[in-house]
Amino acid sequence: SQNRTYKIAVIAGDGIGKEVVPEGLKVLRRAQEKFGFTLEIEEFDFASAEYWQGHGQMLPDDWFELLKPFDAIYFGAVGWPSVVPDHVSLWGSLLQFRRSFDQYVNLRPVKLMPGVKSPLADRKPGEVDFWVVRENTEGEYSEVGGKMFEGTDREVVIQETVMSRTGVDRILKFAFDLAQTREKKHLTSATKSNGIAITMPYWDQRVEEMAQNYPEIDVDKFHIDILTANFVLHPDWFDVVVASNLFGDILSDLGPACTGTIGIVPSANINPERNFPSLFEPVHGSAPDIAGRGIANPIGQIWCGSMMLDHLGERDAAAAVLAAIESTLAAGEYLTGDLGGTATTAELGTAIAEALSR
Ligand code: NAI
Ligand code: MG
């Protein structure tokens, strides 16, 4: 939108989603005042256990038409297992969005923040700062396969990995484009071409092909086994890491785990062509164990807002929100319990909004 007006669908969902989303919106509204763009925000109550109780389904029948016109979906968390089984809530909502809106990029930062205790010894903020780019639609998570001779001694199960040229090339292009925007201009590909001898050599070949278009980018690759070890041993080696669906699933949990608490990590499910809205959500879930007490860490949700602003083209605002999170963490005055403090969700959210105004 050249006029810098963006339509945002807000879905808080369940549990702490309802507590952290208002803090995310608090910071987004402050960013809009400061940077002069407009967010047209519309809130929806579906994709929640309450909606399911009232309607017998997670989403209204017309959810696709309803959400498609939005520029982005700002999502909290879905899941309340005492009311709705988790596979029902997840397949009935989030996974529908990811598939129908062709959000083929899953993007997560791995960034050590000040004031957050990392399980990696002696690492300082600044040393660990990279992105994991996961292919989100094909690869190892396919529906191609089947069972034969079920229940007999001859029982056979097969599930095929599916890699299409379109699917591989588009995730690689996104990752190379991202690397291009970074200072280090370094891309690492996750492979396993020694063991998985058909699809992974193909992946490697597409990486080499794509690299031709990006001569400034320094490209390397690791087999997935040693790559996971290097995430822990040498996290400073990475800048942008691109991986297939399964490898990316593992790396995108391992990476953020190396940087501390689950409460601060954001993620994005992106449709880079912008044919459909992209979705921004914290990595954590609805946390029934702490929900309703106002003590959840809102930073994952607030950081999602920064990623969303970046996607919308509001780069300065995105960087300022991230800087406000960093300075608030460094000050250490308003931290939630998971970070060793006693602040409430709203106090930490307000502190970040105030830092943004300064
Ligand atoms: P969870 O992420 O909700 O909680 C795991 C642990 O981390 C809990 O002890 C929780 O208190 C803590 N935690 C999470 N977020 C926190 C925050 N912001 N501040 C402080 N502590 C935080 O994962 P869990 O317990 O496995 O799942 C709970 C529900 O959430 C389930 O219904 C699950 O299906 C759903 N879920 C939804 C996701 C989504 O919407 N994308 C992602 C993960 C789980
Ligand atoms: Mg996962």
| pLDDT of res. 260 | 83
79 CB less than 6 Å from ligand 1?
yes
83-104: pLDDT as tens digits: 999 999 998 999 899 989 999 9
| pLDDT of res. 1 | 46
Burial class (CB in 10 A: 0-12, 13-18, 19+), 201: middle
- CB 135 within 8 Å of CB 251: no
C-alpha pair distances (Å), 324 with each of 87, 94, 352:
36, 29, 6
103 CB less than 6 Å from ligand 1?
no
Query: Which string of DSSP letters, residue by residue, matches 153-180?
Result: TT-EEEE--B--HHHHHHHHHHHHHHHH
Q: What is the ipTM of this complex?
A: 0.98
Rounded Cα distance, 190 and 218, in Å: 15
Q: What is the mean pLDDT of the segment spanning 225-244?
A: 97
| φ, ψ (nearest 5 deg) of residue 296 | -65, 145
Residues 6+ apart with CB under 8 A from 173: 210
186 C-alpha to ligand 1 centroid (Å): 32
Rounded Cα distance, 71 and 197, in Å: 40
Rounded Cα distance, 277 and 72, in Å: 5
In this structure, the residue with its CA closest to atom 22 of ligand 1 is 263
Protein residues with C-beta less than 5 angstroms from the ion ligand 2: 249, 253
Query: Kind and range of the H or E element at 220?
Result: strand 218-223
- CB 339 within 8 Å of CB 261: yes
283 C-alpha to ligand 1 centroid (Å): 8
Beta strand extents in 35-193 (DSSP E only): 38-44, 72-77, 105-111, 129-135, 145-148, 156-159, 186-191
| pLDDT of res. 159 | 94
- CB 105 within 8 Å of CB 133: yes
Q: Using only C-alpha atoms, what is the Rg of the chain?
A: 21
CA angle, residues 162, 167, 170, in degrees to nearest 5 = 155
| pLDDT of res. 33 | 96
Q: Whole-structure pTM over 0.90, yes or no?
A: yes
129 CB less than 6 Å from ligand 1?
no
263 CB less than 6 Å from ligand 1?
yes
Domains contained in the chain, CATH given = 1-115+260-358 (3.40.718.10), 129-258 (3.40.718.10)
349 CB less than 6 Å from ligand 1?
no
